[in-house]
Amino acid sequence: MVKSPPQAIDLEEAVLGALMIDKKVFSSIIDIITPEIFYKNENREIFKVIQKLFNYSKPIDLYTVSNQLKKEGKINFIGGDYYLIKLTQKVISSAHIKYHANIIRQKFILRRLIEISYFIRKNSYKETTDVFDILNYAESQLFNISNNNFKRNYENAKDLIDRAISNIKKLQLNNGLSGIPSGFQTIDNITGGWQKSDLIIIAARPGMGKTSFALSMTRNLVIKYNIPTMIFSLEMSSIQLITRLISSETEISSEKFRKSILSDFEWNKIFIKIKKLKNSPLFIDDTPSLSVFDLRAKCRRMVSQHKIGIIIIDYLQLMTVSNKSINREQEISLISRNLKSIAKELNLPIIAISQLSRAVEIRGGYKRPLLSDLRESGAIEQDADIVSFIYRPDYYGFHYWDNDESTPCKGEAEFIIAKNRNGGLYNLKLNFISNYVKFTEKC
């Protein structure tokens, strides 16, 4: 016996009838109902017309809906005026429309779950199926359902303009900061904060302080702004990272932590200073050789469970892909493309630390990094929305900035924004305190 899919046609009819007798209630269900959640095709077409009338600020009633359906040549498909009259006669009041709309949505979710399950079952029997493709499909679809992220194929101009105006107003209220703040004011002024769906690359040669910069920024994110932050550390263990953060927060030399030579005063300082860090929304995953597939799955879960606002990966070249038949350049290209895809899917910024090639060391002059120095693949530059470099001339034995004796460079670093898809390029100077492995703003 074949069972009918989950549905609530009587409630679909009640909702459509309520919308035609009381236009004002449409705004209360606009975030609950979309045309695709209607099981009955006729009801779907009627809702599309009601939605169109609402978007263009036209009256919504039995006559306007009928007239629009006639204009579009769909009146006979839905059953004529008789069916519309029948819908309006089914309801006396629109008081319970939101409750009814939620039930319709639940039935739609159940139908989607059945479809996903069928896809998994059917493809799992195929010998040629890649198991990781099935897992990725299943996880992405379930993530969309759990986050009510049912993707539409299009958005009309009115919706997009309303959203754009709303974003501009928010930007004005936040003093130009439209994204996630880094905590470094000059960087935030240039970027407007790290933007949702952006892939940001922070690259440097070993020893320049890439991880230290990421941790200094993390400290700002979780303590100053209370933004849930996820770090995937492929190089250092989670204990090493948190010890660095404690050193930075307490301003006790990291060497003292390594050798465990702390005085009673310093122990007291630690217990006082780390309270905020201890209660901060920081999550660290130190899985080595993390694959892009595993990263995507973990990110979805963390966003769903902990409302993660930003993801930091340290570092990109230590990630792997499941396809071992491709060369290293293709592998890095695949990784960077997937990172951008994850940022877009989860609608949050992803910051990926990256290594630079040895070309920097070989090159003469002041060894300031260039975009061409990105290691192993030009795809990183192509996929990233922002590419930035960290440069410390004193690491190479220079005593002054660009041979200018009036500007000593000891204890200073340059943060170089070399690519900015939605803004300008800029070089700015920061303080680097090596004892506490931290970066700070220059006064």
What is the set of active-site residues?
Answer: 235
Q: Collapsing DSSP states into helix, strand and coil, what is residue 77? A: coil
d(CA 254, CA 275): 19
Kindly give the interhelix angle for 9-21 and 80-89, rounded to the nearest 10 degrees: 90
DSSP per position, 234-252: SSS-HHHHHHHHHHHHHT-
Alpha helices (H) along 5-94:
9-21, 26-29, 41-55, 62-71, 80-89
d(CA 10, CA 177): 47
Q: Contact at 8 Å (CB) between 201 and 352?
A: yes
- 30 token code pair: 């606009």
Spatial CB neighbours of 245, under 8 Å, sequence gap ≥ 6: 215, 218, 219, 277
Nearest CA among 186, 218, 175, 180 for reference residue 416: 186
Please give the radius of gyration of the chain, using alpha carbons only, rounded to the nearest integer. Answer: 28
Provide the residue type at 58 as one letter: K
Positive or negative torsion for Cα 235, 239, 243, 246: positive
d(CA 376, CA 320): 14
d(CA 221, CA 235): 21
Q: What are phi and psi of 415, to 5 degrees?
A: -100, 115
Spatial CB neighbours of 316, under 8 Å, sequence gap ≥ 6: 201, 332, 335, 336, 339, 352, 353, 354, 355, 380
Separation in Å, CA 403 to CA 6, 376, 406, 413: 74, 31, 9, 15
Which residue shows structure tokens 């990256």?
354
